[in-house]
Structure 1
Amino acid sequence: MSRRRPRPAWQVADFFALEREAEVYLAAVDACLAVPAVARRLGVRPQATAENARAAMLAEANVERAVAPCRDTQERFRALLERSERQRRRLDYLRDRTHPLTVALCGMTVLTLLVAVFLSWPAVLGAALALPLTGAVIWRHPVWRMHVLLNLREWALRPRVALLDRRTAWAAAAWSRDLQGNGVRPLTDRVVEALLGEDRDSLLLADNFHGLRSPRNPRYVVESLAARSLTRKIAQLESGGTIAVSGSRGAGKSTLLEACAGEAGFAVVVQAPATYSPYDFLLSLYVRTCENYLVHQGHVPPAFLRISPFRRVARRLLPALRKRLTVLAFGLSAGALVVLGLAAGVRSLTAQQWPTVRAGAVDLWRQAAGVVLDIWNGERVGAAVLVVVAGILLWSLRRWKQWRAIRMGARVTLVVAGVVLAVAAFVSLLVDDDVRALLREAAGKGSGKDFILLTVLLVGIVNLFTERPWEIRGRVLLTLRRRRRTAWILFTAGLALLFTMPLTLALAADPENPLRLAIVLTGLMLIKMATWSPANPVPRLVTACRDELYRLQTVQTASSAVTAGPPQLLTAQTTSLSTMPPNFPELVSDFRALLTEIAAEQHLQEQRVVIAIDEVDRLGSDTAALAFLGEIKAILGVPHVHYLISVAEDVGASFVRRGLPHRGVTDSSLDDIVHVPPCTLEESNEILERRASGLSEPFKALTHALSGGVPRDLIRYGLRLDEIEARTQFVELTDIAGQLILEELSDTLAGFRTLLGKQRWTARTGTILVAFRNAMDHLRPACPCGSTELRRALEHVAFHDLRGRLGEEAAAEVSDEARELLDEASAYALFSLTLLDVFGRGDFARRRDEAAARGPDGALELLGRARQELEVSPYSARHLIGSIRTAWQLPEGLTAGPAAAVPLPRGTDCPRHPRVPA
């Protein structure tokens, strides 16, 4: 039977049949509330506390919703829990009815038996006689017999109860995981969102800002339309070409180039110098290409600086010496073992065959020497003529193309000879009379064991010297390393067992075996000589790159000394030769030749070569950038090489309008261009979601509007959100947006005031600088409070009217440059005031939906476009900002009435935000 749980103090609904179920559910609720993503949202608003969330999760309706998806695991847990409680109650019943005297008697009996076993055999016999008598006495007494049976049943039930408890704990853990994953956690998110109230997206509750702190980390890079366009253009230019990547600074051109370079088989990424010299730039690119190719091929580029001659020699000699010492140690040890085993057989063969071989060699030597002496003494004129003709023919054959075929034939001959010698040594075993007699004797006895051992040995040899995978049971395929290990085990086991057989021992003891092994080794040496090649030969291009690095980065000097004159009067003459660095045309030619070979090698491997030249827009002006492209044009156009050059927007515009009205250097230098525009709001949301997961939509829209969709500024403003939250503990959109916008406006107006200070002013026009100073004094307190004085100060700058405040005569004294700066500052102030009106007020979600319903001008996307338009013209930007303010129903003029001067600055204390000093 199950016990009804009494109503606990935390007033959970009477929903669970057992109290243990309620405990598991409560633990799941606490675990879900402790999840960082949930705990971060608790406490940010007065009603959204952990106590309120816990109380809501323990309400009967929410308990029903949380448990409903996890019925199966709950039923399994409940069934095991009820069984466990029934068995435990039964165990308690047996334990309560067990007599202590019976337990003591049984324990003393077992102890007596153990002591008797460890003492002596007579004690064992005595215990063997005493125990049956004791058992008979206990069994005849009904009360004692009942207690003994109860004890036995209790001891038998204890392991079952322990097993049931373990299974119940596992079922409880499974139900708890199911609750946290499918029931409680989703409901907890909804409960917390309900407690946060309306406009909950206006809270800064991002999970982390790790991606914003690593702006160049490739794992956070989001593929854009420009990246896909560049990939398509590179694929279209199969034989290579030059593609310009155009865009404003911070648009992501460098990231795009690095991503394309990372996907290429071989890539070099260099930065254009701010004050460039074509020769220095090409020299740097040449050196970087050689170093990258050495690294790409697994070699270390040579180091020429800060290394003493002794260290250079040590770095070269020590690895080679270490390798040679290792080979020498193993070679001497292996050679000593082989010589020791074959010494007797070789001596026997030498004693038998050496006199005949020596006599034949001596006769051949004497005959050859006699012929040479006769030719030398002029006794064989015909032979002398043949020798001269043979010498001439030998010299004429120095470039004969068939030498390679002859060398190949010699190698084949050596291989065939080695194989013949190795096979002949094994065939000689079958020809030997003693061996044949042993085989007939073994065949007469007939043993399946020998066949099995031979099969194991054969399988090991086959798997040891083959490269194809070995299939086991038709499904499991061992890798090459595992197969090798298995083959060695089979080979070693088969060989060890094989030498335990009488036949094998008799064959191994044959006196001619050392001679056969010597023949086999001779054959293997011939095969090795024919197939030998240098280990890990250095590729030609690697050597060429290393030589080029020596030529480009060092000055080489060679000297020679000549001694002339009679011995009693010696004279010395010394000549030195120093290499000169290559000039620009030679450097271009050599670089193109080396890059052509690298590209051809990579093209055969179906890989791409990319040379990325970044930061060309750092040259300052489009004229300097175009001049730079004209200077480096000589290295472009290498087959199968893709040049990617980042340029500014004006250089890209020069390429786009080619031929209108005339053609420029971009027409002949560039094959295509990819424009990297600022991100749209959707792309900015994707970037921020990748780099700062959990950031809500209003904050994404705020950073997009301030950055204008430029990724670099987007990341910077995202970090500013984190910095403001950590510094001020603000989490509401109104507070953080006001703080961020006012700080940016203060810095921007300070920059404008510095530029305005360089203009010429008079006593009547100097009040403009005073107005800017007073406005900056209003912005300087670090507090987002939207007071009336602050708004009047911002409107004074945003709705700037030069003639209305200075008059016609005074306004005419302001220079055109100063007037343009004032218009730019006024437009930016109006943009900042618009952002404050959009993001710095409450109820953002409702106002956003209403503005979007009024037309396209109410879309949040237009705020980013307005920021982009400020870089084009302040007048077109004011027109767009006016449309946005109309869609959001914002005032289009001064709200506090006209003011001749900016009101006095705010005080230093902030009553609304006491944590932040004003």
Structure 2
Amino acid sequence: MTGEPSDPHSIEERDLDDFDSWTAQAALASLIDETLGSPEVIRLLARESLRTEVVREKLVANETLLAKIRTLQDQVMAEGDRGFRPRNRAVSAREVLWLLVAVLLGLAYLSLMTAAWDPLPVFLRIFAGLMVPCVLFATGALAVRKVTALREWINPDSMQFHEEQFGLGPRRSFAAREIILPEVRDVISAHRQLHFGTTLVFEQQYDLGEEDSSRIVPTAAAKRIRRVLERAGSGAVALGGQRGSGKTTAIRSMQRGLLHGSENPAPLVVVASAPATYDARDFVLHLHKLLCQAVLERIGQVLGPGTSWRWRTHQALRGLTDLVLSAALGWAIGGVLWNGKFTQFPVELWQTLAKVQFPDLLGPLWTNQPVGNRIALAAVAVLALRWVWKLLAAATGALLILLRRKSSEIPRALQAEARRQLLRIQYLLTYTTGWSGKLAVPAGGELGRTRTTQRAEQQLTHPEVVDEFRAFAQLTAEVLREEGITDRVVVAIDELDKIGEQDKAQQLVNDIKGIFGVPGCLYFVAVSDDAVLSFEQRGLAVRDAFDSAFSEVVRLESFTLDESRLWLAQRLPGVPEQFCYLAHCLSGGLPRDLRRTTIDMVDVTIEHYEPSLSTVTAILVCTDLGLKTSGFTAQARGLAQTPELAELWPKLLRIPDTREASALAELAAELHEDATPDLADPVNRLCLHSSAFVLFCATVLDVFTDALTQARLTPSLHELAVARRRLALDPHLAWATLTDFRKAHDLRLPAS
């Protein structure tokens, strides 16, 4: 299977020996051809000047891709008619109206031909008869083009024969979208046009200021989250990784459906940020409130706008106002153009219409009228047709609402329950009931009695709040799945890793883990590296709140060199590879820092026209030196004044004024020469951190110069990004990494 698309309908004799293998290969070839023919892929191929045959050859030879298709075929065969079925898309009033218009056009032609048949000459009868199939075809084409539901009913899948033949069933579209399309994008990315040069130029910029970008880099963690969303029906998953590794981005991507990995509708995602100071009961109530709001929003999207009496009154008033304005406009236009008095226009118009007798329409309305009257009639006709359209749309919409009401009873019941729960959470309801009476007695006296009972709903305890949340979450998951709206609910708790004390974070997890384990609900929690470490130590004599709460951990790592290059290429198309390497090394591959570095790099182009690599590197490194020096000096001011600190101060103050790479390397050696391996001493630790950072900046300036050619862009430059990450872990390790890098690239070692 190379070059030309294969014909999946043809079976050779040798294919009968292993029919399963043939169906998998034929299904793969058919899906590849279909995906490569999509408009999105065609645009990507054109942008990269890549031939379709090259991509197709790579995909057909991909054994992993073939294995995924065979696995999907086995799943379809095992599931049969079971499994989740998405809710059918509701037919809109506009579609019904277009269907009605198409039918009326056909009937109008047939009625007109029947009424005018007798007086027609023979040749016109022949012409009118030949036009019947053309009119029927045109009206049918109009209905199919305008009514999506009718088009899907007539042709539910353009590859229906292939579904039966290839064993993919209703999951064919899923295979094309979630299995083939990502691989196509990966192949195109791997074969994308690379630009080299030491001048910062790019075509345009995308999504640099937006963290919620749809341009997702397919990292290993993103693929694993996609698999978790596809397979797991319930449970709790911890999202680990250092600050800035993209945990929040992953959660927001789940919320927007960008990491959704199945053919079913995107899950209902509720996102909450963990509080720094918390009350467990209030936090569960907050989750409950967010879940209610998400349910109301999703059901509102599925069922359409509400039909309360307020909504109907508002729509009626709008329609009445529009009708009055249309009538006034028609009167004004017709009164000015009509051959008669302005005030008599409605009467004369009615008299003209009364003279019309079918089928003689053109005589009274057009042929026998002066030009001004014709224009007035045309204007009034346009307004009248508009209102006929609006009235028909209103009538069909009301009919559809009546027809849908019975089928949407269960979702509306859940909607009402969500409103009730939301009201209960937001307010403490107070009910007052009572009675009073008065009895008059002789001599002007009165006897009276008043009794009042006040009932206030008691505040729920934490276990009761948890039970209420679990019950509503389970009800939501069951109803949404049964109604085909979505197959699961996802609750994501972000920023738990920002709680500074590990004990407090563990206590929060302990207090809220009672909400975990709801059938149909999947939980994602952003945790710190310490939590990941404790989870990875399970099986040892270590077991804490994180180990007992989470079923698995997905760790988000820093970008690799290729992932950083792809991230920049997506946002700065046409940017030279030298600047991609520079941004990766300065950020250490950390997604958040990579975004900041890229923004700073683009900002350089505002003040410098097409700056060189040396200029951009010098500006970015100088800025970084100034920021880090402020941190070093702030840390030094908090230390006790000692002779060692007094010797360190002048060296620290020289850092932001040093610009040359050689001078920075010498300064790094001076900072490092008096340091000892003891990290417990704060002054010594400051010496080690500052010296390693200054040496890193000197190395970046030495490497990223205008002499950095394409041949020198090797994967070994990734070691600079590794050194940048190690600066935050261990200055000794960072220093050793930098000295090894300088030795390997023939750079002068610091004399220390």
TM-score (norm 2): 0.57
Once the two structures are TM-superposed, the CA of residue 596 in structure 1 deviates from its matched residue by: 0.3
| Per-residue deviation, 1:866 | 1.1
Please say if 1:206 is aligned against 2:202.
Answer: yes
Once the two structures are TM-superposed, the CA of residue 245 in structure 1 deviates from its matched residue by 0.8
Deviations 1:682-740 (A, max 9, x none): 00011111111111111111110111111111011001111112123351101111111
Runs of 5+ consecutive residues of structure 2 not aligned to the other structure: 1-192, 261-265, 321-388, 393-401, 442-446
Structure 1 residue aligned with 2:666: 795
Per the alignment, residue 842 of structure 1 pairs with 706
Amino acid aligned to 1:872: L
CA change 1:652–1:801 in 2 (3 A) is: closer
Is 2:741 aligned against 1:884?
Answer: yes
Distance 1:636 1:738 in 2: 51
Label 1:847 to 1:754 Cα distance change in 2 as closer, same or farther (>3 A).
farther
- 1:893 has 2:724 as partner: no
Distance 1:555 1:725, change over 3 A: same
Aligned residues: 463
TM-superposition CA deviations, 1:800-848 (whole Å, max 9, x none): 24549xxxxxx99998011112101111111111111101x33211772
Q: Is 2:615 the counterpart of 1:735?
A: yes
Aligned partner of 2:688 among 823, 831, 841? 823
Equivalent of 1:601, from 446, 468, 479?
Answer: 479
1:573 matched residue in structure 2 = 451
RMSD across aligned C-alpha pairs, in angstroms? Answer: 3.4
Provide the rounded CA distance (Å) in 2 between the counterparts of 1:533 and 1:880.
68
Q: 1:557 aligns with which of 417, 430, 447?
A: 430
Query: Structure 1 residue 861 and structure 2 residue 741: aligned?
Result: no
| Equivalence for 2:227 | 232
Give, as a single letter, the amino acid of the residue that structure 1 aligns with 2:240. S
**Does the alignment pair 1:545 with 2:411?**
no
> How many Å separate the matches in 2 of 1:567 and 1:717?
88
Alignment partner of 1:249 is 2:234: no
3-state SS, counterpart of residue 611 of structure 2: coil
1:4-23 pair list within 5 angstroms: none
CA distance in 1: counterparts of 2:219 and 2:515, whole angstroms: 30
Structure 1 residues 489-528: aligned runs within 5 Å:
none
Q: Does 2:593 align with 1:698?
A: no
**C-alpha displacement at 1:324, in angstroms?**
8.5
Query: Which digits, 9 at most, give the CA deviation of each residue in 1:728-755, with x for residues without a partner?
Result: 3351101111111122022112211110
- C-alpha contact 2:477 2:519 (8 A) present in aligned 1: yes
Three-state SS of the structure 1 residue aligned to 2:541 is coil
Q: Which amino acid aligns with 2:717?
A: L
CA contact (8 A) 1:241 1:643 kept: yes
Q: Note if contact 1:209-1:719 (Cα within 8 Å) is conserved in structure 2.
A: no
Q: Partners of 2:283 and 2:422 in 1: how far apart?
A: 15
**Structure label with greater radius of gyration:** 1
**Which residue of the partner structure matches residue 17 of structure 2?**
none
CA distance in 1, matches of 2:406, 2:632: 71
Once the two structures are TM-superposed, the CA of residue 573 in structure 1 deviates from its matched residue by 2.2
Structure-1 residue corresponding to 2:64:
none
8 Å contact 1:265–1:602 — kept in the other structure? Answer: no
Q: Specify the alignment match of 1:216 in structure 2.
A: 212
Deviation at 1:296, TM superposition (A): 0.7
- Residue number in structure 2 paired with 1:277: 279
Question: Quick one: distance in 2 between partners of 1:754 and 1:828?
Answer: 16
User: Is contact 1:268-1:289 (8 Å) kept?
Assistant: yes
Q: Which residue of 2 aligns with 1:289?
A: 291
* Pair 1:846–1:812, CA change in 2 (3 A): closer
Q: What SS does the aligned partner of 1:216 have?
A: coil
User: Separation in 1 of the partners of 2:403 and 2:646?
Assistant: 93
Q: Per the alignment, in what secondary structure is the counterpart of residue 611 of structure 1?
A: strand
| Contact 2:671–2:690, Cα closer than 8 Å, also in 1 | no
Structure 1 pair 592/814, CA: closer, same or farther in 2 (3 Å)?
A: closer
Paired residue secondary structure (1:275): coil
- Aligned residue runs from structure 1 range 714-793, under 5 A: 714-729=594-609, 731-763=611-643, 765-778=645-658, 786=660, 791-793=662-664
Using the alignment, how far apart are the partners of 2:586 and 2:678 within structure 1?
A: 34
Q: 1:705 to 1:579 in 2, by over 3 A?
A: same
Identify if the C-alpha distance between structure 1 residues 812 and 652 changes in structure 2 by more than 3 Å, giving closer, same or farther. closer
- Given that 1:290 and 1:546 are in contact with CA atoms closer than 8 Å, whether structure 2 keeps it comes out as yes
Structure 1 portions without partners, runs of 5+: 1-192, 194-198, 302-314, 329-484, 489-529, 780-785, 805-810, 853-857, 899-918
Judged with a 3 Å threshold, the aligned counterparts in structure 2 of structure 1 residues 555 and 803 are, in CA distance, closer, same or farther, namely: closer
Q: Deviations over 1:559-592 (max 9, x none)?
A: 2232246344232222222222322111111110
The CA deviation string for residues 88-109 of structure 1, in whole angstroms up to 9 with x for no partner, is: xxxxxxxxxxxxxxxxxxxxxx
Q: Paired residue for 2:518, among 631, 638, 643?
A: 638
Partner Cα separation in structure 1 for residue 664 and residue 407 of structure 2:
80
Give the drift of 1:258. 2.0
1:53-92 equivalences under 5 Å are none
Counterparts of 2:291 and 2:703, CA distance in 1: 52
Residues 548 and 846 of structure 1, relative CA distance in 2, 3 Å threshold: closer
Is the Cα contact below 8 Å between 1:798 and 1:826 reproduced in 2? Answer: yes
Q: 1:833 aligns with which of 694, 698, 701?
A: 698
1:428 maps to none
- Matched-pair contact (CA < 8 Å) for 1:250–1:710: yes
Whether the 8 Å contact between 2:645 and 2:683 is mirrored in structure 1 is: no
